[in-house]
């Protein structure tokens, strides 16, 4: 299973699948779900840092999409539309569970390949089982730091630095300007740089 | 004698020696060992809080909303942080989770499309699923019911007593004739014929002649109507 670093816009033509799904072809909607489930789940998980919440919200996103497929006009691409549903669902959830979210971090599995990543090796010194512990601890610290950001700032960091979307794509999803996306990204990174200082090399 | 303070005034020698002993006082070693780390952690937290205040300032939010956000440095300013955040991509559920995602989604979609079950059916389902919770709720309801009844009865009794106290105190005048029953006379009263032939004075609003009154004053002074010459 490849890591979802490929740009979303390169995933192919969704329009035909949407048309088939509208014509009550369940296989077409299933195909759309298969295409986007990892990305949608990933976005929500990095926003909530909780597997159960991410699972529930990801399903809710696709259910809303299915129920509102007839409202999808095709002015924007399907991925922008489904991402927007996911983002709105998640932000609403975070706003209504503001107090809870900070106390319910749950760690998803960490892909073993992280231990071969040069950036991971550079930041941790463990090997073997110690390396796995280090990977879990690093992910936990990343989650804690991300949860300290406001939902708006966390969203742009998640979509840009983790999911690999472009400024323009994020602007479309969040219904804001690219300047706003850049600004939020900058101020979010300033905070993260302080919160994750121990994992970052000293500046010369 | 000069009043100017002298730095080495001999009268304070003892005090100076006493205070000099404080120099030997040292903090615990672990405090000093961890001091720098604690300092850096606290500094980082405070700097992060400052950054959060700047990021969430109303002025910046307004500018962002209006689409006139300030120009800010781009990716080149955060190379190490970006590489660190990219490691989050390795954190995800097991492949089995995504394999079953579609099945779980379809099941939930199907459940949402079914018509909602009747109230009693849902109640029965929830009872069978969580009998312990149901027992707790039932006990709570029963307790509330019993307490409510008890409270109501107590309230009724106290209310009746208050009403009785609020009624005007009657003045009873002993009958002049021994065979004539006691008459109860109230201020602002009206007369009612009692079944035994006597006349009872009742307070306004009370029509029943057999109303039981709590009397706090009875005048036993006999009224003498014999002829006297003291006109």
Selecting from B55, B65, B109 the residue whose C-beta is nearest the C-beta of A66 gives B109
CA distance B197 to A62: 90
Q: What is the mean pLDDT of residues A75-87?
A: 91
Q: What is the pLDDT of residue B194?
A: 64
Q: What is the pLDDT of residue B218?
A: 60
Residue B154 lies in a domain: yes
What mean pLDDT is reported for chain A? 83
Task: Check whether residue B180 and residue B222 sit in a common domain.
Answer: yes
Selecting from B67, B87, B109 the residue whose C-beta is nearest the C-beta of A179 gives B67
- pLDDT tens-place string over residues A24-67: 888 899 999 999 999 999 999 999 998 889 999 999 999 999 99
Domain count, chain B: 3
- B52 contacts chain A (CB < 8 A): yes
Residue A120: both structure tokens together: 């991971």
- B102 contacts chain A (CB < 8 A): yes
Distance of CA B18 to the CA centre of its chain: 56
- B69 contacts chain A (CB < 8 A): yes
What residues have CB less than 8 Å from B212, skipping those under 6 apart? none
Q: What domains are there in chain A, each with its CATH number? A: 14-106 (1.10.1740.10), 109-140 (no CATH), 148-197 (1.10.10.10)
Q: What is the pLDDT of residue A204?
A: 46
Residue A132: both structure tokens together: 């796995």
Q: What is the pLDDT of residue A59?
A: 93
What residues have CB less than 8 Å from B193, skipping those under 6 apart? B199, B200, B209
Does residue A90 have a pLDDT over 70? yes
* A66 in Cβ contact with A26 (< 8 Å): no
Task: Check whether residue B174 and residue B195 sit in a common domain.
Answer: yes
Closest-CA residue in chain B for A145? B48
Residue B159 lies in a domain: yes
Residue B91 lies in a domain: no
Question: What is the percent of chain A where pLDDT is above 70?
Answer: 82
Task: Check whether residue B211 and residue B160 sit in a common domain.
Answer: no
Q: List chain A residues with CB under 8 Å of B96.
A: none
Residue B96 lies in a domain: no
What is the gyration radius of the CA atoms in chain A, in angstroms?
18
Task: Check whether residue B156 and residue B208 sit in a common domain.
Answer: no
More confident residue, A200 or B81: B81
Selecting from B51, B70, B97 the residue whose C-beta is nearest the C-beta of A190 gives B51
Q: List chain B residues with CB under 8 Å of A116.
A: none
Does residue A78 have a pLDDT over 80? yes
* Segments forming the whole domain that contains residue B123: 119-164
Q: What is the pLDDT of residue B2?
A: 58
* A81 in Cβ contact with A17 (< 8 Å): no
CA distance, residue B136 to nearest chain A CA (Å): 26
Q: Indicate the DSSP class of residue A158.
A: I
Residue A16: both structure tokens together: 């035909």
Q: What is the pLDDT of residue A190?
A: 92
Which of B65, B70, B87, B99 has the highest number of chain A CBs within 10 A, making it the mutation to test binding with A? B87
* Residue whose structure tokens are 């300290």: A148
Q: What is the pLDDT of residue B13?
A: 85
Residue B15 lies in a domain: no
- A144 contacts chain B (CB < 8 A): no
Does residue A143 have a pLDDT over 70? yes
Task: Check whether residue B189 and residue B158 sit in a common domain.
Answer: no
CA distance A195 to A165: 23
B218-219: strand order across its sheet: B183-185, B171-173, B218-219
CA distance A185 to A163: 13
CA distance A186 to A183: 5
Q: List chain B residues with CB under 8 Å of A180.
A: 64-65, 67, 69
Confidence band, pLDDT 50/70/90 cuts, at residue A1:
very low
- B39 contacts chain A (CB < 8 A): no
Q: What is the pLDDT of residue A182?
A: 93
Residue B12: both structure tokens together: 């304070």
Q: Indicate the DSSP class of residue B184.
A: E
Residue B50: both structure tokens together: 């400052």
Does residue A19 have a pLDDT over 60? yes
CA distance B74 to A167: 11
Question: Domain ends where: B149, B164, B179?
Answer: B164
Residue B223 lies in a domain: yes
Q: B55 and A187 in contact by Cβ < 8 A? A: yes
The CA distances from residue B215 to B167, B171, B179, B184, B186, in Å, are 10, 8, 21, 10, 11
- pLDDT tens-place string over residues A149-180: 999 999 999 999 999 999 999 999 999 999 99
Question: Domain ends where: B68, B84, B110?
Answer: B68
Residue B126 lies in a domain: yes
Question: What is the percent of chain A where pLDDT is above 90?
Answer: 45
Q: A37 and B80 in contact by Cβ < 8 A? A: no
Q: What is the pLDDT of residue B219?
A: 65
* A77 in Cβ contact with B50 (< 8 Å): no
Instruction: Give the range among A106-120, A122-136, B27-41, B97-111 with minimum mean pLDDT.
Output: A122-136
Q: Indicate the DSSP class of residue B110.
A: H
* A123 in Cβ contact with A199 (< 8 Å): yes
Confidence band, pLDDT 50/70/90 cuts, at residue A191:
very high
Q: What is the pLDDT of residue B36?
A: 82
Name the nearest CA neighbour of B64 among A93, A149, A159, A185. Answer: A185
Residue B4 lies in a domain: no
Low-confidence ranges of chain B (pLDDT < 50): 174-176
Does residue A104 have a pLDDT over 80? no
Q: What is the pLDDT of residue B132?
A: 79
The CA distances from residue A199 to A134, A139, A143, A158, A186, in Å, are 12, 11, 13, 18, 19
Name the nearest CA neighbour of B69 among A151, A158, A182, A17. Answer: A182
Q: B74 and A182 in contact by Cβ < 8 A? A: yes
DSSP class per residue in B74-143: -GGG-HHHHHHHHGGGGB---HHHHHTHHHHHHHHHHHHHSPPPPHHHHHHHHHHH-HHHHHHHHHHHHH
């Amino acid at each position: 299973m490849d890591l979802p670093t490929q740009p979303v816009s390169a995933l192919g033509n969704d329009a035909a699948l949407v048309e088939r799904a509208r014509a009550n072809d369940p296989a077409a909607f299933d195909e759309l779900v298969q295409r986007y489930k990892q990305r949608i789940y990933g976005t929500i998980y990095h926003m909530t840092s909780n597997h159960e919440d991410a699972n529930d919200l990801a399903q809710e996103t696709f259910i809303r999409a299915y129920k509102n497929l007839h409202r999808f006009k095709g002015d924007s691409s399907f991925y922008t539309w489904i991402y927007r549903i996911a983002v709105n669902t998640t932000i609403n959830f975070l706003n209504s569970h503001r107090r809870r979210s900070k106390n319910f971090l749950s760690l998803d599995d960490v892909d073993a390949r992280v231990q071969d990543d040069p950036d991971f090796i550079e930041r941790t010194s463990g090997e073997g089982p110690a390396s796995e512990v280090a990977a879990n601890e690093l992910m936990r610290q990343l989650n804690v730091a991300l949860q300290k950001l406001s939902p708006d700032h966390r969203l742009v960091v998640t979509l840009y630095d983790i999911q690999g979307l472009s400024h323009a794509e994020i602007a479309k999803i969040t219904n804001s300007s690219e300047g706003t996306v850049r600004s939020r990204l900058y101020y979010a990174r300033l905070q993260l740089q302080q919160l994750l200082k121990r994992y970052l090399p000293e500046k010369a | 004698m000069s009043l100017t303070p002298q730095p080495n005034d001999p009268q304070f020698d003892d005090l100076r020696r006493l205070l000099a002993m404080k120099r030997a006082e040292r903090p615990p070693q672990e405090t000093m060992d961890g001091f720098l780390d604690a300092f850096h952690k606290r500094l980082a937290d405070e700097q992060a809080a400052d950054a959060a205040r700047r990021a969430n300032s109303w002025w910046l939010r307004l500018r962002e909303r209006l689409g006139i956000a300030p120009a800010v440095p781009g990716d080149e300013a955060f190379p190490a942080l970006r590489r660190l955040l990219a490691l989050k991509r390795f954190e995800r559920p097991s492949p089995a989770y995504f394999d079953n995602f579609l099945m779980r989604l379809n099941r939930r979609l199907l459940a949402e499309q079914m018509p909602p079950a009747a109230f009693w059916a849902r109640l029965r389902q929830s009872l069978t699923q969580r009998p312990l919770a149901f027992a707790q709720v039932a006990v709570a309801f029963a307790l509330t019911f019993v307490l409510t009844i008890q409270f109501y009865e107590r309230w009724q009794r106290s209310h009746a007593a208050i009403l009785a106290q609020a009624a005007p105190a009657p003045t009873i005048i002993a009958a002049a004739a021994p065979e004539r029953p006691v008459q109860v006379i109230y201020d602002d009263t009206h007369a009612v014929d009692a079944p035994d032939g006597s006349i009872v004075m009742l307070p306004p609003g009370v029509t029943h002649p057999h109303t039981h009154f709590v009397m706090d004053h009875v005048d036993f002074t006999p009224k003498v109507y014999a002829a006297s010459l003291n006109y």
